[in-house]
Structure 1
Amino acid sequence: MSKISNVSPHSYDKNFQKEKSYRKKSCIIFLLLLISLCIVSITSLSSSYVVKVFTNFVFAQEYDQTKLPKFHLSENTNNFENNSTDPLSDSKKDINSENSTLTSDRASTSHRQITLVTEEVYLDIAPGKRVKAWTYNGTVPGPTIRLTEGENLTIKYINKSPIPHTIHFHGNHADINDGVLPQVMPGQTYLYNITGEPAGALMYHCHAPPTSLHIRMGMYGALIVDPKDKPVAPAREFVMVMGEYDLKNQVGFDADYYFINGYADQYVHHPLEINHNDLMRIYLINLGTTIPASFHLHSTTFVTYPSGLWDNLPIHSQTISVAPGDASIVEAKWKYPGNYFFHTHGIPEEKGNMGQIKVVGKGSESAEGKSKFQNSNDTSRGTNSNQSRNFSEPLTRSVSMFDWQYELQKKLQSPEVISTSGHKGIDEDHIGSTKEIGGNNGTLQENESFHVQDKESKAELTTSDESGVKLLDDAKAPFLKNETDRNSKFSISISPGSSSPENKIFYDPSSIKIEEGTQVTWINTDQNMPHTVTSGNPDQGPSGIFDSGIINGDDSMYKFTFDTKGEYNYYCTLHPWMTAKVIVN
């Protein structure tokens, strides 16, 4: 027989409860110890990181770099007011002649206005190479625009060139400020309104077709948005905008020059300078049109913020590849003082994309001379017209070299404005007048007040798709593709090359005579180039009788039936030198 245990059920249950309670208390104590250890570790690491990286930090923002014309927006309205009788009289001096970076003071109002003017110029892109360029404010690239995240900015854009242009801004904004449509015609003014977001290295450029041609001709610039709440380490800051130029074929794949800030190898002969112990920050923007810029700094590796956005996690790089239309923020230090090259790897470095950085050690002299170093100290935030500072003292706040770079660029390029009076298809009186684009429906207005459209505004626009291209009713614009229309007696071809004012013929034939009730077909044979067939003329604008909207350059067609006797002038709103007429008997 088996022995029966003397342990009572009550005693067994009591021991079990004690053991259960002990295990529970042990688990709680262990978890509390683990949590405490994690908190101590995180606090220690965070404190160490902040002390090392962000001691005495400032926001990467310049102050009081320019005295802009006294524009403002009336409170609680979108009405634009101009307190200057001549908006160009001050802006020409402050922006085009003296100042590089269009910035704001963080302590100033939350809204401001700047003026950009498009003019055709002759300028130097290399020693002995003077070329024609299309510009914002007379230089390639145009002036750097700098603002703080969340800051509202109105850009008053005046087109003083003989062809249509726009300003397209990278970032977040409403479609009416996107800079694709409407095209800003010669002699016209347009107000763009944007808010600085997201923070990072952005850009602006013309988006008139063909966009690649307008960019290569020089219509681009940097748009730097400083973070509002993100701490940024003190650094010596530079902007580098990659560009291209070909002397024979500006729409070809290859280019004769791949330069930085509009002039070949300028930083080989005028090196960038930093203190050995200072951080260098480069806002790197690729506004070439064909190949990525594989940017490399000699004798160091560096930190980069992908796509030039401060919200992205930084990565450690030896070379950073930046695609056309993209950017990066580069932060670097060097282990040893010395002179070091930087460039885009590959063919571009042999065609103007090369520069030097002088890392100045203690007791060394800069290329500008010892006396300048001893007498200048950049410990306050602001603009620098030269590179000199007291290199015996480390940076305590960020110092922008944008103005120094822009002054050097203007000196090397030596721009000269081209007279607009001799351009084919553009009337001199038309060029001399200023038309303002705006109103409630986005149409062209003369001598009429117009509205600034901010990101909250709802403009009454022509029906459009998500891309902003005007949609057309089938009855108004019956686009067709068939050989019957192509061979019709009353068909008109939009000739190849019509986007250039130098073309010999635009609408072929340029004048036809027809009977009442005749249907005319226009065929766009200008490959990959959009055009319009719009009743009216470039001087007075559309008459409203017929308008094709955008006709794509893929043999797309537009038809219109003329039921009333008369003479009908028409033109292309994208390329106003394209004019022709239909005479109805």
Structure 2
Amino acid sequence: MPSSDYSQAAELSKKLEDRLVDSLESDFKTTRRAVLGGIGLAGSAALTGIGRADGGENHGPGKDSHGNFGAVGEYSDLDFDPHEFLYQFNTGRGEQENVPQDMYEENGRTVREFTFQAVDTTVTIAPGIEFPAWAYNGQVPGPTIRAVEGDLIRVKFENLGRHGHTIHPHLRNLNPKMDGIPQNGPGVLNTGESFTYEWIAQPAGCHFYHCHSLPLKEHIHRGLYGAIIIDPDPERVAEKPEEYCNYHASQITDELRADLVAEAKTRNHEYPENNAINEMVIVMNSFDTNFDGGNEVYAANTRAFAYSVGETDGRGNWKAGETKRPIQIDGQQRQRVYLANATEFDLINSFHTHSQFFDYYDHGTTLTPTNKKIDTVMQCQAQRGIIELDYSTHDPGLYMFHAHQSEFAELGWMSFFEVV
């Protein structure tokens, strides 16, 4: 690719990023980093007007609108990297240092166990700009959980934040006590309280989890959300193929059954066929930095313009400081994106690719596409799906992707794939 193309892309990225940071600094008359450094988390919460975001509702069962105050946990020196997050699938095998986890057999079923803690922290959303977040294990989005259909997901959850929190899974959960809502089971967990959630990994697909404490709009917006990936079990697909496609059981041919099983193996991380696919997680999110009920920053995986173009020599070597570089992909390898929308205060978000069309699997619950050959997909909050991309016929170089709400793109949700 001509170096001038990289230079022009870098110039555009820098112009938009500088404009975003300048607007935020102008709004506050100082940087978010200076504010938080000077007065601490509790003070910054008061300064930024949390009361307006509360909407007059309560955080959990306490009398105070911010729940019960107490000891606050914090992960030290946790440097969230949106490029690492793309590929961090926690399967119980210790993939992330800040996510204690284990995998073992119990009563004939595979158990994938994770320890989650809700903490109050700050997250970097743009160069020099930090946001006072509530986060699972100190990161936004929260850790990605990955299991196989039929496994038991066991999450030992402890609330170390100042407010009452839960974990609510968007799964087919058969036990109301495990739903993670204020009205069922342990309800909202206050500071220092803990509970162990157990969910059967079903159905196969790309799913979502989040805090369900009130007011929902603040607990989700502050960062308490993440993705759950449930891989299909090829053996179950062979037995009940009609559950994984838009065909009646009487329409399933031997050829279709074989195709569905083959596709299931590419989606299952325990099968070698999955190694041929480059898989990544993208959570679309946003940040209301002045807490007026509208977003000032939009991002893919929290950091504005993280996957845009910084300084490069045009040969794959990047130097940008704030992890700013395109997502580099092998053009000959199939690409799979697990996409979820966590945006608050906007009705929809979207994902659009330049110079390419993709197949889309809504919620990822089928092995055949729900939309074929599209270049834009919309998602409401908590909606998710799987995107399949093929760049094998494309020339090497930069290919943009972004939200196709132009405001979102210019305020941080603009990215590039670098095909090599």
Q: TM-score, normalised by structure 2?
A: 0.60
Equivalent AA in structure 2 for residue 255 of structure 1: N
Q: Is the 8 A contact 2:89 2:145 kept in 1?
A: no
Deviation, structure 1 residue 210: 0.7
Q: Secondary structure at the match of 1:308?
A: coil
Q: Secondary structure at the match of 2:97?
A: helix
Q: Secondary structure at the match of 2:220?
A: helix
Structure 2 unaligned segments of length 5 or more: list them. 1-86, 235-260, 267-275, 309-323
Flag as ranges the 4+ runs of structure 1 deviating above 6 A.
Answer: 60-65, 105-108
Deviation, structure 1 residue 312: 5.9
- The residue that corresponds to 1:283 in the other structure is 338
Q: Is the 8 A contact 1:61 1:148 kept in 2?
A: no
Structure with a larger share of its residues in helix = 2
Q: Structure 2 residue aligned with 1:201, among 203, 206, 209?
A: 206
Change (3 A) 1:152 1:352: same
Matches within 5 A, 1:257-268: 257-268=297-308
- The residue that corresponds to 1:271 in the other structure is 326
**1:294 and 2:350 aligned:** yes
Query: What do the CA deviations read for 1:253-305 (whole angstroms, capped 9, x no partner)?
Result: x2001111111111112211221111110000001122212211111101100
* CA distance in 2: counterparts of 1:350 and 1:323, whole angstroms: 20
Deviation, structure 1 residue 63: 8.8
Matches within 5 A, 1:144-293: 144-173=144-173, 174-181=175-182, 182-229=187-234, 230-232=261-263, 233=266, 234-249=276-291, 252=293, 254-268=294-308, 269-289=324-344, 290-293=346-349
* CA distance in 1: counterparts of 2:211 and 2:156, whole angstroms: 14
Equivalent AA in structure 2 for residue 169 of structure 1: P
* Length, aligned pairs only: 271
Q: Is the 8 A contact 2:359 2:369 kept in 1?
A: no
- The residue that corresponds to 1:66 in the other structure is 93
Superposed CA RMSD: 2.6
Deviation, structure 1 residue 61: 12
Q: Secondary structure at the match of 2:339?
A: strand
Equivalent AA in structure 1 for residue 94 of structure 2: K
Query: What do the CA deviations read for 1:486-523 (whole angstroms, capped 9, x no partner)?
Result: xxxxxxxxxxxxxxxxxxxxxxxxxxxxxxxxxxxxxx
Q: Secondary structure at the match of 2:332?
A: coil
- The residue that corresponds to 2:402 in the other structure is 343
Q: Is the 8 A contact 2:91 2:112 kept in 1?
A: no
Q: Is the 8 A contact 2:142 2:224 kept in 1?
A: yes
**1:310 and 2:366 aligned:** yes
Change (3 A) 1:63 1:137: closer
Percent of aligned positions with the same letter in both sequences?
A: 32
Change (3 A) 1:170 1:218: same
Deviation, structure 1 residue 109: 5.8
Deviation, structure 1 residue 141: 0.7
Q: Secondary structure at the match of 1:176?
A: helix
Change (3 A) 1:144 1:277: same
Structure 1 unaligned segments of length 5 or more: list them. 1-59, 69-92, 361-585
* CA distance in 2: counterparts of 1:237 and 1:283, whole angstroms: 8
- The residue that corresponds to 1:359 in the other structure is 419
Which has the higher relative contact order, 1 or 2, with Cα contacts under 8 A spaced 6 or more apart?
2
Matches within 5 A, 1:5-16: none
Equivalent AA in structure 2 for residue 66 of structure 1: R
Q: Is the 8 A contact 1:294 1:322 kept in 2?
A: yes
Query: What do the CA deviations read for 1:186-220 (whole angstroms, capped 9, x no partner)?
Result: 11001110011111110110010111111110101
Change (3 A) 1:64 1:158: closer
Deviation, structure 1 residue 103: 8.3
* CA distance in 2: counterparts of 1:329 and 1:242, whole angstroms: 13
Matches within 5 A, 1:103-142: 110-142=110-142
* CA distance in 2: counterparts of 1:222 and 1:171, whole angstroms: 11
* CA distance in 1: counterparts of 2:104 and 2:354, whole angstroms: 35
* CA distance in 2: counterparts of 1:153 and 1:238, whole angstroms: 21
Q: Secondary structure at the match of 1:280?
A: strand
Query: What do the CA deviations read for 1:116-156 (whole angstroms, capped 9, x no partner)?
Result: 00110022111111121000000111111111111101100
* CA distance in 1: counterparts of 2:112 and 2:104, whole angstroms: 10
